[in-house]
Each structure stands twice: as C-alpha cells, then as structure tokens.
Amino acid sequence: MKNDISTTFSIKLNGLVQGIGFRPYVFQLAKKWNLKGTVSNGPSGVHIQILANEKIANDFLEEIISNPPALSRIVSHELTENAFTNFSHFEIIESKTEQSGASTLLTPDLAMCENCRQELQDPDNRRFRYPFITCTHCGPRYSIIQKLPYDRVNSSMQDFDMCPECHDEFENPENRRFYSQTNSCKSCGPRLFWYESKLSKSEQVLIDNQDAILTAVKDALTKGKILAVKGIGGYLLLCDAANEMAVKTLRERKHRPSKPFAILYPDIEKLRHDTYVTDCESEHLQSPVSPVVLVKRKEISRFSIDESVAPGLDHLGVMLPYSPLLAIIASDFRKPLVATSGNISNSPIIFQDKKALEELVGIADFILTNNREIVTPQDDSVIRFSALHQKKIILRRSRGMSPDLAISQKTSPFPSQKIAFGASAKSTFCIQNGNEKYISQYHGDLENYDTQESFRHSLNHLTTIFGLSPATHGNFAMLLSDMHPGYFSTLLADEYAAKFHAKVTKIQHHQAHFAAVLAENDLAEDSENVLGVIWDGTGYGTDGMIWGGEFFYQNQRLHFPYFDSLLGDKMAKEPRLSALAVLSAFSKEPLPRFLENKFTNTEWTYLQKVIGSNTLKTSSIGRLFDAVASLTGLTDKTSFEGEAALLLEQEAQRYFDANGYDFPENYFDKAEFLIDELIADIHKEKQTGWIAAKFHYSVVKFAEHTAVQLGAKKLAFSGGVFQNTLLTDLFIENLSGKFDLYFHGQLSPNDENISLGQLAYINAVKV
C-alpha cells in the first residue's frame, strides 16, 4: 500500500493491549502497509507513531480496531496529528514512562498455547520438556508483573538474561517469540529445585540435572507421596487420585475432612473416559483461562478416582495442565492427580518460596520449587455449567481471569481514584482509576490472619502499579466498604482513610450485590425497572438484622420473612440450627420429634431459651436451604461452606434428570406455608429427591409471585445462592418467557462481586 507522507500521526490504544503480542502485531501490520514510525508500550497502553496522510492514518487505525490480536481488547483509542518527525523505518522502541499513573488494563496469566504444547512434546525441539516454555500468546503475566509498562525488566523475568538463541528469537519479526517478554530456554531460564521434607524442615536434594528432577517427581507420585509444586500463582499439592492412603493422608495433613479436591487430568481424552464432559465444558477447560470445571462423573471414574476425593458427589472438579510444568508431570504420571491449593484449609495459597519450604513441610513429602518469583498470589479459577441450559457460573474468579473485567466502561460521573474493599468471605477489592476498574483475584475469608496479609499484599501491589499513593497521585477521592462494623475489610478501609486522608462510605451488602449485577449487564441507567433478587447466606442490614432473602424494586425492599439467627457463625456450619429456627418461626404444629433428636438434651433445653429471648433475626434464603437439607436428613453439621445447599441441589438434580423439568406443584405462595407442607411430605415418606426438587421449584415460584405482585418485567439475580446451577436452570426454564432475566457472567454471584458492586452503587446506581 502506497503511503503519501503528509505528517506524523499518533495513535494511543488503551485496554487489554500489553502482554498479548500487540507490539509485534502492530509492527507486522505497519510493514504490510509500508508505514514508517514506532510502536511502544506505556503505562496507559500502546503508543504508535506513523508517517501518513490523514486517510491512511484513519484506515490503519480502523484495521487495528477491526482485527486486533487474539485475546486483546481495545477499550479506547485516540488519533492525533503531531509535529512532523522523519522516520526511516518502522520499529518497536523502548517503552515510555509517564508522569501520571498507569491506566491500562492488566493481562491475566494465560494457559499454555497449542504451539508451545507441541514444542514441549517434540524431542527435536530445543525446548523439549522445558518446564517454563512460553511465547507471546501464553504464559505468566499478572502473576509476575511488578510495574507497568509490561516489559521483562518490570517483571520477575528480569532475573534471567536471554541467551544468544533466545535473543535472536526475540529480535526476529518472523518468529512467534518476537518481542516475547517471557522468552527463555533451558540455557537461560528459570530452574527447578527439589526438596525433601524431613521432620520439621525441608532439605534440598542436590540434583543438578533438570530431567532427573522430573523423573524424581514421577517416582515420588508413583510411590504415593504428596508433592508441593510451585505453579503460576502459588503452590499446588499433588498426589495420586486413585491412591486411597495418599488422599487420606493429604486430608489429614491439610485439615480438610470432606471438601472435594480438584483433579488434574493429563489430557481431554482421559477426562472424557471418566466424565460426561460437555462441549462447552471442554472448550473452557482448554481455553487460555483453563479453570477448574465441575463436570458430571461417570460410574467408571470410581476405578481411577478414590471415593474420598469427592465423597458422595456426582460431580468432579477437574482441570487440564495449564502450565508446561504441570503438563510434563501429568503426562509422565499418565493418571489423574489430586491438585489442590498449597495451604492448610481456610488459609490462603502459599506463593513465597521461603514460606513454602517452612510451612508445607508438614503437608508435603517433597517440594518442587523454582527460582522465578511469583509477585502476586492466585488460586485456580473455578466454574460450573447448568445441566439444562449450560449457563456458566463462576464460583471462584482468580488465575486466568483477574484482574481483567470486560464490562461497559462508561464515563463515570465521578472519574477519580477509589478503592472498594469488598466483603469478608470470598474477599476481593476493586480499584477505580479514572474510568477504569480493576477487580482483584479471590483471596478467601478475611477472618484468617494470613488471608488478611495476602489481601494487603495484593492491594499494595495494584496501588503501586497504578501509582496510587499520596506521594505520587494525590489523595483518593473515596474509599468504600461494607456496613458490617466487624469485617476486616471495613477496618482496613478505615485504616486507609487515615493514611490517605479520604472519606469512607459504607454500602449495604445486598445493595452492592444488586449494583454489581446491574453494572455487569449494563442496566445501571434502567435500575428502577429491574427487580433485584438478591439471595445469600448473610449480610448486615440497615435495620441491624441479618439480610439474605432480598428483593429490591423502585426504592422498595421486600424480603423473606424474618426468623431467628442463632449462635452467630455457628448457624452457617450447623444446618440443624437453621431447621430449628425456621420451624420455630413458621410452623403452626408442635416441633417434630425427629428435629429434637438432632440435639442433645442440654443443647435442646438451651436453644429453647435462646429462641424465646433472641432479638437478632435473619431473612436468609441460604439458611433456608440449610434448614431443608437438615429436615430431609442430608446433613446436620457441615465441614465446608455451602455443603448443605450442595447436597440438596444434588438430590433435586437427580430427580429432574430422571423425571424431566416439569413439576406439578409447589410449596407456597407465602413463605409461612412452606414448612408445615414440607414437614407433611416428610411424614408421608416422600422421596428426598422429590422434596428437594419441589423446594427448588417453589423458591422460583416465590420469586415469580413477588415479581408479578410488583409488576416487574426484568429480574436480576445475585448472591451466593445463585451458585446453584439447578436453581439457575429452573429460573430460565420457568420464567424466561415471562420476564427478562439477568445473571452474572464475568463475576461470581457470591461475595466476590461485592467490591465492584460498591463502586457501581456509588457511581451510578440508586437502589
């Protein structure tokens, strides 16, 4: 294409444009167009200068916007005419620094691409079995970035100078690793180190040969040993998924009695042998995110997966190797491996080498580490799909997803610096920097001290990247937190307020949930016409009660009728308490003997006194699910969060799978009628699956009845209850023809979305 030179034009691109091969793409495109100029990274995105006339400059920009590199996303662009600069050719130049803070999006870590996978398995390739193979299309990004712009010198890869061969690839425009910031090989890249746990300390096993270390890994797994392996965002614990003793030992050491473990399969073919993996699930398992996906297991899987891996469950949390190291380990072992976060249960994933060598000694028999630093920790992301409509639900948003968020980035009426500190359980924070928003990875329960420190670490990391501090960028305009006065996130917001001389605004928990789902579905401007169906386990209400069964519509709040909130957090761990509270509140009949039998005489006497004098009430639908799980005999005490609701959902799903999704009756139009009808079905010895199915269908009808009463035509759903895929299917199946339904797609419905919701609420939404 001929270029009639007129002047110099500058193009600025903001968005997900760093760490995904954007500069090499622009370089190749400029060569194709016969343009002269430069391309570089900067803290605010990609900067391009070209010699061109106005038409060619506009056409060139349109080509970039219309056909950007895979995985990139351009959020904004700007074309300006500059003073004439005479360029002799087109080149990638050194990244630019700017006085103002960074404002581009951060690229998540990317699972190993197919080209690198093939090279990894090719004996004739110089990167054969190299555990850190990457290219411009894959590898660690967010987990290694120290500051922007995204360049090797600003990441933990700065510790590894490229050898001549790697440097030649880096400089070669025809090579897939042209300008790849993570480029390395066996000669110049990170190296593995092998440690054995002995009593209370770890001792390095001096194996200089990297291949010999990988052989030692396979041998240890074959012998039933537990390994801690440094991954992309932290350490994973691995063991043979078929070895009963290994799994039992891991549970004992990790203090995790029954919560299911994730399973690493070597390839999709072996996974298909054990599970009914759908096309949609397969696609996501092999995507650049490569999350853990919950898939339905086949009966034959019980031969290759020990029952204690996912006791009593119809689904397995599975993943495929997303990093070259995991690919080598899984391929060598050739069978499924348990792959769970490297930590004691309820603590954050361990990502620092020193801490791993000190604290994982009591769990792992051997520790496989490397000398590439992890800058920020991340667990594996977890998703599931509904059985009928294949609706994706994110259960944990972390590696491969965070901190990217592709929601409408409309100009905020308050385009300033804000931090939203989120909730307590399933904690995240969200930073607004101008008009851009960045939501952190999942951190876990902030009641745990180590989780608090991990939360602080990640928050400091992101605020440093964006230059957000009093010394560099002025004060924050606003800090946002939950209303609960005892949350660590609330206290941390107050701490930041003192440090940054900023105001803290408290946002009610469920209003933040509603704001989050509105923002994600671009409904903020239409919020008054949307009924928010916000159901979860707990949230501090404006009336001092524990909310959790909320409807928001046109400045109104309706809710599930209050019942007693018993014994604080203990109620969430003992569904029998929810059963007692619900029956005591709503049943017109004497409490049944089978309920009393769930308690000792001492407990029963004490609880009768508590119920008579208790003033703290809850509207929680989450606790209602717990109550039904207890009343139907599924569980009275749980060992992990959500266990009771999961078991109830499983029973109902089995019924619908066998009988179809039409259900002839429901329990109630009014909540007060629910319990006595349900108890009557129990006394009639109705099947547990039938009762569970009827209950699920009934809460859908309850929401429908509320929507009809209010005259709402649009329903938006948020809160932890909507992690239930069956409930989602039933809403779609029964209400989609009558209402417009909106769910979360990029965020989890659980408390991970609270931080974004706090920002969305204060910026645009009135609920």
Q: Which residues are catalytic?
A: 23, 41
Q: Are 489 and 422 in contact (CB under 8 A)?
A: yes
Task: Give the three-class secondary structure for 78.
Answer: strand
Beta bridge partners of 193: 369
One-letter identity of residue 313: L
CA distance 258 to 239: 16
CB atoms within 10 A of CB 617: 19
Nearest to 377 by CA among 404, 402, 405, 345: 402
Residue 146 in tokens: 């120290």
* Both tokens assigned to 688: 């547990």
Angle at 18 between CA 51 and CA 119, to 5 degrees: 110
The rounded distance, in Å, linking the Cα atoms of 58 and 148 is 28
Tell which residue, 642, 469, 622, 619, has the closest CA to residue 552: 619
Residues 6+ apart with CB under 8 A from 685: none
| CA neighbours closer than 13 Å in the CB half-sphere of residue 401 | 23
d(CA 233, CA 216): 23
Question: Residue 753 corresponds to which amino acid?
Answer: N
C-beta neighbour count of 377 within 10 angstroms: 24
What's the start-to-end Cα distance of the chain, in Å?
A: 55
Question: CB count, 10 Å around CB of 644?
Answer: 28
Q: Phi then psi for 208, rounded to 5 degrees?
A: -75, -30
| DSSP track, 299-320 | GGGGGTS-GGGSTT-SEEEEE-
**Which amino acid is residue 91, in one-letter code?**
E
The reply to whether omega before 149 is within 30° of 0 (cis) is: yes
